[in-house]
Amino acid sequence: MSNRELLNPTNSALILIDHQPQMAFGVQSIDRQTLKNNTVGLAKAAKIFNVPTIYTSVETESFSGYIWPELLAVHPDQKPIERTSMNSWEDKALVDAVKATGRKKLIIAALWTEVCLTFPALEALAEGYEVYIVTDASGGTSKEAHDMSVQRMIQAGAVPVTWQQVLLEYQRDWAHKETYEAVMELVLEHSGAYGMGVDYAYTMVHKAPQRQAK
């Protein structure tokens, strides 16, 4: 295994850490609505390709609030792993869940970048996992906090990626028709200008009927 090898649905797992209201309140490195859009899009990408996905939350009822309902709705049968530790890698249930996936490539997004992403990323790297940090589905308390933490993780061996990059790395070939329609629906809903371009191509170039908003 190598971080030079492309991600695919059978060699990776997704970990979503602490996408909760109180954590989002402190985010200053990215627009919060964009952050939510990207994170939900990332979770939906994992679901389309049946990638093992783990949710974890910290101090839900005493401080942080519940994980965003739009995010939980992607995997409604998934029970988040509740913790008290800032470092999710210190929680046995989380580490056991990661080991149970059998995957060595871990795609991680978290709030905040400088704490709840950096700590487990460094720990997982030290234990021999390959770590891919989703920078646009994570946020820090300032742009500097986010950027410096990303640099620290890169220096330790983590690979920075974006949510849409993960989606398209999974799809890889538009001839993969078993996932094509779901990927296009996700792009139309969550990919901003790219989605607008797809909509234009469908209706104006290929003369498909105008889509009705959901």
User: Mean pLDDT in runs of 10 for the chain (214 residues)?
Assistant: 86 98 98 98 98 98 97 96 97 98 98 98 98 98 98 98 98 97 96 92 82 68
Neighbours of 82 (CB within 10 A): 14
pTM, 2 dp = 0.95
User: Residue ranges of the domains in the chain?
Assistant: 12-169, 173-205
The reply to whether 42 belongs to the active site is no
Q: Which of 14, 58, 81, 116 is catalytic?
A: 116
Is domain 12-169 annotated with CATH 3.40.50.300?
A: no
